[in-house]
């Protein structure tokens, strides 16, 4: 749709209103609060369950280690008793046969008892009572029995077999062995009792964990059920709302299409009117300008005051003609009907034409207008390029104070030509720069000679520069002036 370039007063076609239906979804606050409470409780119980699970996992690891220790301690205690039996058998075999070969297993069992005693101490060192029982009872009996066996071998070696048999028959060793067996069995019983307690504690913790987990998952299930019911109700309400909004949207879409059509027709009528009016105004103005030129040729026959009036009339006609040309340009640009016909353009002649055209306007404000000289051809649209530079020069002179300098400079570069329009005006404030090339933009700076300004010149310059494939930039410094640069490529 063609854009409306400036406000056009048309009949009020946007006078009707569409009532947008509103449908409020009012959630049940009590229901929502209940869901939040259940959800919070579920989360707390899940956290507690996770903590208990972690705690029980650690306990299981410790319990497994403890069970292994208990079984190994039972095995070690039983092995100690067996090693004492091995020492007795080896001693008896040595005394009865006198063969020293029995001393080897005797010594091996004696060394193994020392090693196994150290192992057993390490295995039960986590229980102070068991440690005291081992060191205060069992190890004392083991030492006594070991000493008895050693004494029997020494008596055999010193006094012979009869003395050794006599010592054996006293049965002191048997008493020690019976006592040792009872003590080891008591140690084993204690270890089994500790093992049973450990398992009981573990089972209790597991039961607590299962209970908490069951309650947590039950609450999660209940929360999910309540939330599902609430979501179904909310979904039903949302569905009703969407259907209502869709109906309203369809009605609104019909209105928008109808109004869009009306706006397009109104904009087309405006463009048509603007094109006809501007074109019809241009011809009479051109005729008036020709008549003024004829009257000025009779300068020697007219009074000085008449010549001054003719100059005022000529300037006013030029301003009006420039306004009409701007309106025609913006109208063609918006309709996409700007003809761009590229052909070789003599840049030197174009610069001379512009200097001749704006010298009079500059002299009226006592502005020194300088146009550089350059030679060369540029393949572009002469009329479009001329309109770009005319708008820039018109603005530079319009916004420059008296007794300043305005320059038009051109130079050839690798791709084409670069034109620069420089003035010594007040400069453009930084906050105005984003709006500089907009249509009908009137910014903070004002013309210095009371000239009029439509706010179309820079917009037209930018659009025409783009149509020529070039670009336009601006650099400005407050209280020092502004430079507009137009770069036009060769093709």
Which range of 9-18, 58-67, 307-316, 356-365 scores highest in mean pLDDT? It is 356-365
The DSSP string of 268-319 is: HHHHHHHHHHHHHHHHHHHHHHHHHHHHHHTGGGS-HHHHHHHHHHHHHHHH
pLDDT of residue 388: 94
Whole-angstrom Cα distance, residue 106 to residue 85?
Answer: 10
Per-chain mean pLDDT for the chain: 80
* Tens-place pLDDT, residues 30-81: 666 777 777 777 787 778 777 777 777 777 777 777 778 778 888 888 888 8
- Rounded-to-integer distance, Cα 143 and Cα 123, Å: 20
Same domain flag for 47 and 183: yes
pLDDT band at 423 (very low <50, low <70, confident <90, very high): very high
pLDDT at residue number 310: 79
How many angstroms from the chain centroid is the CA of residue 424? 47
| Mean pLDDT to the nearest integer, 279-283 | 68
**pLDDT at residue 127, as a whole number:** 80
Q: What is the number of structural domains in the chain?
A: 2
Final residue of a structural domain among 232, 261, 283? 232
Domain CATH for 58:
1.20.1440.210
Helices (H), 98-171: 103-123, 128-133, 139-159, 161-169
- Three-state secondary structure string covering 323-371: HHHHHHHHHHHHHCCCCCCCEEEEHHHHHHHHHHHHHHHHHHCCCEEEE
Residue 189 in any domain: the answer is yes
The residue among 215, 232, 249 that closes a domain is 232
Is pLDDT larger for residue 52 or for residue 142? Answer: 142
Domain with 389, as residue range(s), is: 338-489
Residue 247 lies in a domain: no
Quick check: is 353 in a domain? yes
Is residue 453 included in any domain, yes or no? Answer: yes
pLDDT interval class at 275 (50, 70, 90): low
Q: Which of 48-52, 68-72, 212-216, 319-323 has the highest mean pLDDT?
A: 68-72
- Determine what percent of the chain is predicted with pLDDT higher than 90: 23
Is the Cβ–Cβ distance between 353 and 384 less than 8 Å? no
> Phi/psi zone of residue 58: left (φ > 0), alpha (ψ -120 to 50 degrees), beta?
alpha
The reply to whether 65 and 180 lie within a common domain is yes
Mean pLDDT of 335-358: 89
Residue 23: predicted pLDDT: 42
Residue 17: the pLDDT is 42
Angle separating helix axes 172-297 and 304-335, nearest 10 degrees: 140
Angle at 195 between CA 191 and CA 199, to 5 degrees: 170
- The answer to whether position 329 is within a domain reads no
Please say if the pLDDT value at position 204 is more than 70: yes
pLDDT of 393 reads 94
> What would the pLDDT profile of 158-200 be if each residue is shown by its tens digit?
887 777 666 666 555 667 677 777 878 887 888 788 778 877 8
pLDDT on residue 29: 65
Q: What is the pLDDT of residue 22?
A: 43
Question: Euclidean distance between the first and final Cα of the chain, in Å?
Answer: 30
Sheet holding 368-371, edge to edge: 368-371, 405-412, 416-423, 481-489, 471-477
Quick: pLDDT tens for 445-477: 788 766 766 778 898 899 999 999 999 999 999
Task: Please indicate, yes or no, if residue 4 is contained in any of the structural domains.
Answer: no
pTM of the predicted model as reported, rounded to 2 decimal places: 0.46
What's the confidence (pLDDT) of residue 405?
A: 95
Domain CATH for 362: 3.30.565.10
Which carries the bigger pLDDT value, residue 435 or residue 272?
Answer: 435
Distance, in Å, from the CA atom of 399 to the CA atom of 394, rounded to the nearest integer, reads: 9
Length of the chain: 491
Alpha-carbon distance 457 to 475, whole Å?
17
Say if residue 407's pLDDT is above 90. Answer: yes
Give the residues across from 344 on adjacent strands: 379
% the chain with pLDDT above 70: 86
Encode pLDDT of 382-404 as tens digits.
999 999 999 999 999 988 999 99
Query: Is 377's pLDDT higher than 80?
Result: yes
Identify whether 269 is part of a domain: no
Whether 113 maps to a domain, the answer reads: yes
Distance CA 29, CA 35 (A): 10
């Amino acid at each position: 749709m063609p854009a409306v370039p400036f406000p056009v007063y048309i009949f009020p076609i946007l006078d009707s209103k569409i009532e947008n239906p509103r449908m409020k979804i009012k959630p049940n606050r009590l229901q929502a609060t209940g869901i939040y409470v259940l959800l919070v409780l579920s989360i707390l119980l899940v956290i507690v369950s996770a903590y208990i699970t972690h705690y029980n996992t650690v306990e299981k690891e410790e319990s497994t280690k403890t069970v292994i220790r208990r079984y190994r301690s039972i095995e070690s205690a039983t092995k100690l008793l067996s090693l004492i039996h091995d020492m007795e058998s080896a001693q008896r075999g040595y005394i009865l046969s006198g063969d020293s070969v029995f001393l080897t297993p005797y010594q091996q069992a004696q060394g193994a008892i020392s090693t196994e005693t150290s192992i057993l101490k390490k295995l039960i060192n986590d229980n102070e009572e068991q440690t005291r029982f081992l060191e205060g009872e069992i190890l004392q009996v083991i030492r006594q029995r070991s000493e008895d066996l050693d004494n029997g071998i020494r008596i055999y070696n010193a006094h012979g077999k009869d003395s050794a048999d006599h010592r054996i028959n006293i049965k002191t060793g048997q008493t020690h062995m019976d006592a040792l067996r009872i003590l080891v069995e008591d140690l084993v019983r204690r270890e089994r009792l500790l093992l049973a307690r450990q398992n009981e504690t573990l089972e209790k913790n597991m039961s607590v964990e299962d209970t908490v987990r069951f309650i947590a998952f039950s609450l999660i299930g209940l929360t999910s059920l309540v939330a599902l019911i609430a979501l179904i109700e909310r979904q039903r309400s949302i569905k009703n709302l969407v259907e209502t909004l869709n109906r309203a949207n369809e009605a609104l879409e019909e209105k928008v299409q109808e109004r869009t059509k009306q706006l397009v027709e109104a904009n087309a009528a405006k463009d048509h009117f603007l094109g006809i009016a501007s074109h019809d105004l241009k011809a009479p103005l051109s005729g008036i300008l020709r008549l003024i030129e004829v009257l000025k040729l009779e300068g020697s026959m007219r009074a000085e005051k008449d010549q001054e009036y003719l100059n005022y009339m000529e300037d006013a006609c030029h301003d009006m003609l420039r306004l009409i040309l701007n309106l025609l340009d913006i109208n063609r640009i918006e309709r996409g009907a700007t003809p761009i016909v590229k052909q070789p353009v003599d840049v030197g002649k174009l610069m001379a034409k512009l200097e001749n055209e704006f010298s009079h306007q500059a002299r009226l404000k006592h502005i020194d207008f300088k146009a550089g000289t350059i030679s060369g051809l540029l393949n572009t649209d002469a009329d479009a390029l001329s309109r770009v530079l005319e708008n820039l020069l018109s603005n530079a002179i319009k916004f420059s104070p008296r007794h300043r300098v305005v320059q038009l400079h051109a130079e050839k570069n690798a791709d084409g030509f670069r034109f620069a329009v420089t003035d010594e005006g007040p400069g453009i404030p930084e906050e105005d720069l984003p709006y500089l090339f907009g249509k009908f933009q009137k910014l903070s700076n004002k013309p210095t000679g009371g000239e009029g300004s439509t706010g179309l010149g820079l917009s037209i310059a930018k659009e025409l520069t783009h149509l020529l494939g070039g670009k336009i930039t601006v650099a400005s410094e407050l209280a020092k002036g502004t430079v507009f640069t137009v770069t036009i490529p060769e093709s």
